[in-house]
Amino acid sequence: MPKNVLKRYLIYCSALLLLYAFSFVQYSNFSLYSISYNLIWICIGIFGYIEYKNLKGSPSAIRKSILSIAFALYCLSIPIFLFRLFICRSQKNSVLFQNKKDNSIEIVGRNNECYADPYTLMKVYHITDNLKWVIELDKQKVDTTEFRKVLR
C-alpha cells in the first residue's frame, strides 16, 4: 500500500474519531449527538466516493465492485439516518441525581421519543454553564453512595 494512501486513510479515520468524540458535547440544550452520527455517515459516503474516484484509472475490477456494492448499501440506509435526524429527538426530562462531592456532575433522565426503550439515563458533566459533556449510563448502575436524589 503506498504511503499517500495510508496517510489518506489515517486522515479519514482521524476525522471520523473526532466527529465521534464531539458527539458527547452538548451546548445549552443542543446536543451534537443528534447530528454527529449523521455527519459521520455523510463523511463515510464522501470518503468512499473519493476512493472510488481514485480507483477510476485502476485495473482492479474487484475493488471497484466492492465499492459499488458498499455504495448501494450506503444509499439504501440513508432513509434510516434521515428518519433519525428529522423525526427522533431526545429531550431533557429532569435531573434525577446529583454528585455528593461535585455539584457539576448530574444524572439526568431523558425521554427518547421514537425508540423502543424511550427512557435513558445520562451522566452530565458541566464544563461551563452552557457547555456539558454527556455520557449514557446503564439504568442498573446508579451508585447511590456517590449520588444523592434530587427533588425538583
- The DSSP symbol for 24 reads G
Tell me the pLDDT of the chain averaged across its residues.
Answer: 76
pTM for the full model? 0.62
Q: What dihedral do alpha carbons 87, 93, 98, 103 form, nearest 10°?
A: 80
Domain ranges of the chain: 3-86, 90-149
* DSSP string over 26-59: EETTEETHHHHHHHHHHHHHHHHHHHHHHTTT--
User: What are the Cα distances from residue 98, in Å, to 4, 21, 90, 94, 126?
Assistant: 50, 24, 21, 11, 12
Supply 101's cell numbers. 462531592
Beta bridge partners of 30: 27
Residue 116 has pLDDT above 70, yes or no: no
Q: What is the mean pLDDT of residues 24-36?
A: 73
Q: What do you get for the CA distance between the two ends of the chain, in Å?
A: 59
pLDDT value, residue 2: 61
